[in-house]
């Protein structure tokens, strides 16, 4: 009897010891949750070449640390054969010449100053202006960077290497992108940028087009909406999902917020008061390139339907 009691007690001790060593299901799930938290996969905006040679807005994973590390990460994505080559989506390609190095990079009062190696000058004439557009739009999409200044081996890049086109000292989105010129003279030139939609592998992405015109007194907000609602686009592979019967009744800008009041044709389904995501994005991105705003409020016949913060446009 004593032997049996000792055997039972020993067996219980062994079982308790094994249970102590084996983690519970909750503990395993907690460990997995922590693993995801330690390795976040944040998305950042980058402007890459698509199959039609448009400079297109694309989202990729990038460093989410300091402004400088984020900028360096995105420059790697723009460089052919760069360290971020593995995150470039199918259908897109980098544009900065292979072998280009960032010698130095610093941020001063919202201006990102990048000193490149001379390899950046080995760019094909066809793509040199697009490279500047890509760099400018990508880096000024980072919160905290208002403009960029380009250096090559410590000297300011004042002209494009092939066309000899003069560059401004400080580059921002006013430089334009995928430019189209509809001007008859060199006086009273103004510009505005409209974002259109394209798709690759059933994934939609956005292409900004800057249009240059002579009438500098135009109402840019109304022109942008009219362009997006037009059945005509500059190229057959660019499209807008805004119904051509959509009318902007009125709008107002208050404290970096713009309120757009449309007729009911803004809806994709009038019974559910739904607005297509593509419509929201093309309008918000286009207006944000023309005026400094933080949010866009969509109304239909004076009734608020949707509010979109610019910072949420991912």
pLDDT of residue 61: 85
Rg (CA), the chain: 26
Q: Tell me how crowded residue 102 is: count the other CB atoms within 10 A of its CB.
A: 16
pLDDT of residue 13: 57
Within 10 angstroms of residue 92's Cβ, the number of other Cβ atoms is 19
What is the model's pLDDT at position 37? 30
Cα dihedral 16, 21, 27, 28, rounded to 10, equals: -130
Residue 178 to residue 269: CA distance in whole angstroms: 32
**With helix as H, strand as E and coil as C, how does 63-103 read?**
CCCCHHHHHHHHHHHHECCCCCHHHCCCCEECCECCCCCEE
**Do 129 and 160 touch, CB atoms closer than 8 A?**
yes
The string of pLDDT tens digits covering residues 135-173 is: 999 999 999 999 999 999 999 999 999 999 999 999 999
Q: What is the pLDDT of residue 233?
A: 67
Percent of the chain whose predicted confidence (pLDDT) is above 90: 68
Q: What's the whole-number mean pLDDT along residues 200-224?
A: 88
Q: What are phi and psi of 230, to 5 degrees?
A: -70, 145
| CA dist., res. 79 & res. 82, Å (int) | 5
Whether 311 shows a pLDDT value over 70: the answer reads yes
pLDDT value, residue 271: 73
Residues 6+ apart with CB under 8 A from 15: none
User: Residue 58's beta-bridge partner residues?
Assistant: 46
* Distances in whole angstroms, Cα of residue 61 to Cα of each of 44, 94, 162, 240: 6, 15, 33, 27
Burial 234-265 (b: 16+ CB within 10 A, else e): eeeebbbbbbeebebeebeeeeeebbbbbeee
Please tell me whether the overall predicted TM-score, pTM, comes out greater than 0.95 for this model.
Answer: no
12-30 residue pLDDT tens: 555 555 555 544 433 333 3
pLDDT at 7: 52
Q: How confident is the model at residue 122 (pLDDT cuts 50, 70, 90)?
A: very high
Neighbours of 188 (CB within 10 A): 11
Pairing of strands 180-182, 203-213: parallel
Tens of pLDDT, residues 272-309: 788 999 999 999 999 999 899 999 999 999 999 999 99
Band (pLDDT 50/70/90 cuts) for residue 236 is low
> Mean of the per-residue pLDDT values for the chain?
86
β pairing state of 92-93 and 43-50: antiparallel
């Amino acid at each position: 009897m004593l032997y049996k009691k000792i055997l039972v007690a020993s067996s219980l001790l062994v079982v308790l010891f094994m249970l102590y060593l084996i983690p519970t299901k909750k503990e395993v799930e907690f460990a997995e949750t922590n693993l995801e938290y330690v390795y976040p996969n944040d998305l950042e905006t980058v402007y890459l070449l698509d199959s039609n040679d448009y400079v297109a807005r694309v989202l990729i994973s990038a460093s989410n640390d300091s402004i400088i590390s984020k900028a360096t990460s995105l420059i790697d994505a723009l460089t052919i054969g760069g360290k971020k080559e593995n995150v470039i989506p199918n259908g897109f390609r980098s544009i900065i010449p292979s072998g280009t190095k960032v010698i130095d990079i610093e941020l001063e009062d919202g201006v990102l100053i990048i000193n490149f190696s001379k390899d950046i000058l080995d760019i094909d004439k066809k793509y040199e202006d697009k490279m500047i557009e890509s760099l400018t739009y990508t880096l000024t999409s980072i919160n905290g960077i208002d403009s960029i200044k380009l250096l090559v081996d410590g000297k300011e890049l004042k002209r494009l290497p092939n066309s000899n086109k003069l560059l401004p000292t400080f580059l921002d989105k006013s430089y334009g992108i995928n430019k189209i010129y509809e001007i008859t003279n060199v006086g009273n030139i103004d510009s505005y940028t409209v974002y259109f939609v394209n798709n690759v592998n059933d994934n939609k992405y956005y292409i900004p087009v800057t249009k240059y015109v002579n009438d500098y007194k135009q109402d840019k907000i109304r022109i942008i909406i009219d362009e997006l609602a037009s059945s005509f686009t500059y190229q057959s592979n660019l499209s807008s999902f805004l119904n051509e019967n959509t009318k902007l009744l009125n709008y107002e800008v208050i404290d970096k917020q713009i309120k757009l009041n449309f007729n009911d044709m803004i809806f994709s389904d009038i019974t559910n008061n739904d607005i297509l995501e593509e419509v929201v994005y093309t309008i918000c991105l286009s207006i944000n390139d023309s005026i400094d705003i933080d949010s866009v409020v969509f109304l239909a016949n004076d009734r608020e339907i949707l509010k979109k913060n610019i910072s949420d446009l991912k």
